[in-house]
Amino acid sequence: MTQNRFFSIFLFVFCVLAINVTAQQVQQLSLTDAIAEGLENNFSVLLARNNEQISSNNATHGNAGMLPAVNLNSSVNRAVRGAGSTTNWNSNVAMDWTVFDGYAMFANLDRLKELELMGQENLRATIQQTIATIMNIYFDIVSKQQEIDAYEHILKISRLRLTAADDRFAAGRVSRVDVLSAQVDYNADTASYIRQTEDLRKTKIQLNRLLAREITIDFYASDSIIVDKSLDYVNIHDLALSENPDVALSRMAINVAAFTLKSIEGSQYPRVRLTSNYTLARNYAASDAVGDGSLGTFNYGATLTMPLFNGMNINRQIRNARIELESAQIRQEQIQKDIESQVASAYSTYLVYRDLAAFEASNLKLAAETLELSMERYRLGAISGVELRDMQRSYISATNRVIAATYNAKISETALKLLSGMVFEL
């Protein structure tokens, strides 16, 4: 056995054993578990939840200006004159309540509630986008695992070819060129195998980062890629225009702009405020044990404020608010057209790769059968190592094509479900 042959076999055995040992030690990660972990820990989801909570906290009657303001004020003053001193103590509770402002407070409350709904919709959009991203990276890992399995198979064949070439050279049946050719091909397959394992490791790091967990955690993606072949364009199109988060947010933005306009228009009308306060005052000198007594006073009243002229600012604000409302309506139309375009493009891609995946799967069966027959013919000496190498290339090419087509079909399917708000349907 030559030194090169020994080194090649050692390298092959080391790589295979390392992968097998690692596969036994690492955790099995399903897509469902990955999504659950991501929704619990992903930073974007956590931030979106906080923003949603803030918008919910803001949607109150008090923040809309519908509740009274009550304040307690208290003061103590001391005056010194010669040998004597006087202390004045004053305390009051005051209430100020705007009971009518041209219905602006009701418009403000409606606007705050709409902003609360937008916070909820933004959270839903973030969750759906996070799920879609997790799915895409997860299935990328599955694809790379499948590619590594194919390269392991090719590597085993190349090792057998190298061993056979070395034995035949020792028996004087082939030239040294055949051994060197087999060695070069084996080394190339080993290098490809190593590159694939490194690509897989980097992709796992991406998923770990997305799940907000320890970056170096190793795992095996246990789910397979199953393409949903039942997606219907009309159904996807209609759902996208009604359930897509961007479309829903654009509708809510129109409502917010309308409520803002209504609130500004309310500033043209009279404002009615109710006020009341209770004051308790006490004065006493330092020499008095009892003091000069205390006095309690209760006051109440109403104030009517009518805007007459403020430099035409209210009219300017109303004009700008109407323009903002028109802009919101234009943005909604633009978003709807963009979504329709994305659905049409993604569905076309989905159909191409769905059919291509099925076609390439049948090609792979032929390539695998051809490779097995070629290996048997090579053992019998009916074909050369170069011819066997051609069959290896055909097999790995067919494998990569079917993996890529299946993955791209799944990516297109996920994109369609994301656009139509169905990404929760795994």
171-200 burial, b at 16+ Cβ within 10 Å, e below that, comes to eeebeeebbebbbebbbebbebbeebbeeb
Residue 141 domain-assigned? yes
Residue 224 inside a domain? The answer is yes
Flag whether 425 is in a domain.
no
pLDDT at residue 77 in the model: 87
pLDDT of residue 21: 46
In a domain, residue 424? The reply is no
Give how many domains the chain has, as a whole number. Answer: 1
Tens digits of residue pLDDT in 190-220? 999 999 999 999 999 999 999 999 999 999 9
Residue 218 — left, alpha, or beta (φ > 0 → left; ψ -120 to 50 → alpha)? beta
Band (283; pLDDT cuts 50, 70, 90): confident
Q: Taking all residues of the chain, what is their mean pLDDT, rounded to a whole number?
A: 90
Domain enclosing residue 144, as ranges: 3-419
3-state SS record for 197-266: HHHHHHHHHHHHHHCCCCCCCCEEECCCCCCCCCCCHHHHHHHHHHHCHHHHHHHHHHHHHHHHHHHHHH
Going by pLDDT thresholds of 50, 70 and 90, the confidence category of residue 329 is very high
pLDDT, residue 84, reads 73
- pLDDT tens-place string over residues 114-167: 999 999 999 999 999 999 999 999 999 999 999 999 999 999 999 999 999 999
pTM of the model: 0.86
End-to-end CA distance of the chain: 54
Does the pLDDT at position 419 exceed 90? yes
pLDDT tens-digit profile of 2-58?
A: 445 544 544 555 555 555 545 456 799 999 999 999 999 999 999 999 999 999 999
164 located within any domain = yes
Is 330 contained in some domain? yes
Q: Return the pLDDT at 351.
A: 96
CATH value at residue 176: 1.20.1600.10
In a domain, 204, yes or no: yes
**Token digits of residue 3:** 């030194």
pLDDT in tens, 61-87: 999 999 999 999 998 888 887 667 788
pLDDT in tens, 229-252: 999 999 999 999 999 999 999 999
Rg (CA), the chain: 38
Strand partners, 93: 72, 278
Reply yes or no on whether the pLDDT at 179 is more than 50.
yes
Percent residues over pLDDT 90 in the chain? 80
CB 336 within 8 A of CB 247: yes
**pLDDT, position 339:** 97
Phi then psi for residue 221, to 5 deg, are -75, 110
Q: Are 231 and 350 in contact (CB under 8 A)?
A: yes
What DSSP string describes 46-63?
HHHHHHHHHHHHH-STTT
What is the structure's pLDDT at 1?
43
Distance of CA 92 to the CA centre of its chain: 53
Binned at pLDDT 50, 70 and 90, residue 293 comes out as low
User: How would residue 184 be classed by pLDDT, with cut points 50, 70 and 90?
Assistant: very high
Residue 335 domain-assigned (yes or no): yes
Q: Which amino acid type is present at position 150? A: A
8 Å CB contact between 168 and 178:
yes
Residue 425 confidence class, pLDDT cut points 50, 70, 90: low
